Amino acid sequence: MLEFRNISFHFPTKRNTIDVLHDVSFTCGEDEIVAVVGPSGCGKSTLLSLATGLRKPTAGDILIDGRPVKGQNRLIGMMFQQSTLLPWRSVVENVELGLEIRGEPKSFRRDKAVTLMRQYGLGGFERKYPHALSGGMQKRAALAQTLAMEPEVLLLDEPFAALDAQTRVVIENDVVKICRAGKRSVLLVTHDISEAISMADRVVVLSRRPGTVKEIFDIPFSRGAKSVADVPAMPEYATYFKRIWDALDISVTGMNETAA
Amino acid sequence: MTISWHNLIVTLGRLLVLAVLLLGTELGVRYGILSKLFFSSPTEIYHALQAQYGEGTLMPNIGITVFETMLGLIAGSLAGIATGLVLPQSRTLSRVIEPFLMVLNGIPVIVIAPLFILWLGLGLASKIGISVYIVFFAMFIPVYTASLRLERTLVDALWVMGANRWQIFWKVVVPSSLPSIYTGLKIGSGLALIGAVIGEFVASRSGLGHMILYASGTLDTPTLYLGIIALAIFAAALSFAVDALGHVLVHWRFADEK
């Protein structure tokens, strides 16, 4: 379980201090997918880097299973927006990277990586280099890399933004399936309301900077859907979309602020 | 099929150009169209080769220049790689050192050369020193620039996976710099030879540079050409070797092209 308790984050610049996040609190329970949406620059990605320990909150606590996050944490895995596959390593070497860092023996990590790759439809591509893979396959490899370490909490930073619509649905379904099967806490940052409703159990709406929690929506209906692609056709979808859209309040004045 | 035809025509064309050059100088010099002072026929150059070889000076001269160049290239590259990788690890240190290195790099090597002769004497050491000096910058600048522009996300991703500083350095920083090391080697291999020969030009008792300068002073044009050709062959061989090494260094870029 991942818990944000009264998180504030200020970013000092040469001239002044930027308030990125202000008093943000919410939890992401076990076997739960929570999506964070908000206007660009509202600090939603910052939330993730705070959860990984890459940055420290100015105020507040982040807890995983009740214990505060201090520096690196084995329980956390993150999928970044940009590709984090190392171009000089073959795909299988990339998938086993986390285990290698942990000092797992070679045969163990290789077996695990190969098994995961087969599971995620990457069988036969072990010795290829990342650039030889399609965008969707690269994402699946990155997912396999993250999941090889069996994180309890999975952080996803707009990982599907660069994918084409079809591939995106396939990967989104994979992620939902994998997360449900592993009873993980999943925190997904996205700017796509539709993706948030389709994948998540709850949607946290952040305000413009400094980001505060505006509203939290329970999405009770999408969990039963066979595919994330079916969710927009469900009768409740439009209502939730409208409510979240209104909460986001992306007015013209808001768009003038530059993205951070 | 069209590709192989194309290759065949290219090869034949190259041989033709070579034949025209050789035959042109041979006939031109023999029939007095080209002055013997400025040009040498292939036959004359061959005689110079025999003479130099017979006196037992050619091979040592080649060997000395090759040795100076290789040592300069290896030592200069290693120093450039090490500095380029380590300096960016400390923002403060790199800010302190950077302007000094940039000023040093701006000084033309030809004016630095006498200083090296002064420090290290007339022997091989001064030539190797000059070579190391220019190769260092050819390697340092691309490696340093690449290290500064390191993909932050990759470092963050490894950190989140639990990597320590050392693991990040060896698994991300070093491999990220390999394409720049290849660039540095490509530029540096040419400069290593220039450094060695410049050193030999300024003051020396042996080496191909010395042989060329001596031939020039004694109006021994065929030997002058012989020295230039020997240098050209070595330069080409070195460039070929560096390219082969480059394919190993950045193997992933060539992996799926076959």
- Position A164 scores a pLDDT of 84
pLDDT band at A174 (very low <50, low <70, confident <90, very high): confident
- What is the rounded CA–CA span in Å between residue B97 and residue B173? 20
B203 CB neighbour count, 10 Å cutoff: 17
Residue B228: strand, helix, or coil: helix
Q: Which domain holds residue B127?
A: 40-254
- Residues B90, B4 share a domain: no
For residue B160, which residues of chain A lie inside 8 Å, CB to CB? 52-54, 72, 76-78
Residue with tokens 């090494």: B245
Can you name the residues that pair with A34 across neighbouring β-strands? A187, A202
Q: Cβ of A78 and B167 within 8 Å?
A: no
- Residues B211, B100 share a domain: yes
ipTM score for this prediction: 0.89
SS3 track for chain A: CEEEEEEEEEEECCCCEEEEEEEEEEEECCCEEEEEECCCCCCHHHHHHHHHCCCCCCEEEEEECCEECCCCCCCEEEECCCCCCCCCCCHHHHHCHHHHHCCCCHHHHHHHHHHHHHHCCCCCCCCCCHHHCCHHHHHHHHHHHHHCCCCCEEEEECCCCCCCHHHHHHHHHHHHHHHHHHCCEEEEECCCHHHHHHHCCEEEEECCCCECEEEEEECCCHHHCCCHHHHHHCCCHHHHHHHHHHHHCCCHHHHCCCCC
The pLDDT tens digits for A74-126 are: 999 999 988 899 999 999 999 999 999 999 999 999 999 999 999 888 989 99
Q: What CA–CA distances, in Å, run from A10 to A56, A160, A211, B152?
A: 10, 28, 11, 21
Q: How many residues does chain B have?
A: 258
Q: Which residues contact B154 (CB under 8 A, 6 or more apart)?
A: A84, A86, B172, B176
- What is the rounded CA–CA span in Å between residue A213 and residue A35? 12
B162 touches chain A (CB under 8 A): yes
> Considering only CA atoms, which of A43, A40, A78, A150 is closest in space to residue B154?
A78
> Considering only CA atoms, which of A150, A160, A195, A136 is closest in space to residue A82?
A160
- Position A136 scores a pLDDT of 86
Angle at B69 (CA atoms; ends B66, B70), nearest 5 degrees: 85
- Residues B96, B80 share a domain: yes
For residue A87, which residues of chain B lie inside 8 Å, CB to CB? 252
The pLDDT tens digits for A27-79 are: 998 889 999 998 887 888 899 999 999 999 999 999 999 899 888 989 999 99
- Position A208 scores a pLDDT of 85
Find the closest chain B residue to A95 by CA distance. Answer: B161
- Residues B89, B58 share a domain: yes
- Residues B81, B44 share a domain: yes
- Residues B206, B99 share a domain: yes
CATH code of residue B158:
1.10.3720.10
Residue B49: strand, helix, or coil: helix
- Residues B58, B17 share a domain: no
- What is the rounded CA–CA span in Å between residue B48 and residue A187? 78
pLDDT at A233 over 50: yes
pLDDT band at A260 (very low <50, low <70, confident <90, very high): very low
Q: What CA–CA distances, in Å, run from B61 to A77, B64, B200, B207, B212?
A: 61, 5, 11, 4, 10
pLDDT at A159 over 50: yes
- Residues B182, B145 share a domain: yes
User: Per-residue pLDDT averaged across A141-154, rounded?
Assistant: 92
Angle at B201 (CA atoms; ends B196, B204), nearest 5 degrees: 85
Mutation target for A interface from B160, B170, B254, B258: give the one with most A CBs within 10 A.
B160
- Residues B11, B128 share a domain: no
- Residues B211, B176 share a domain: yes
Provide the domain count of chain B: 2
- Residues B143, B247 share a domain: yes
- Residues B32, B107 share a domain: no
Residue by residue, pLDDT tens for chain B (258 residues) are: 567 889 999 999 999 999 999 999 999 999 999 899 899 999 999 999 999 999 999 999 999 999 999 999 999 999 999 999 999 988 899 999 999 999 999 999 889 899 999 999 988 999 999 999 999 999 999 999 999 889 899 999 999 999 999 999 999 999 999 999 999 999 999 999 999 999 999 988 999 999 999 999 999 999 999 999 999 999 999 999 999 999 999 988 877 654
Q: Cβ of A80 and B156 within 8 Å?
A: yes
Q: Cβ of A86 and B154 within 8 Å?
A: yes
**CA dihedral defined by A79, A84, A86, A91, rounded to 10 degrees?**
40
A52 touches chain B (CB under 8 A): yes
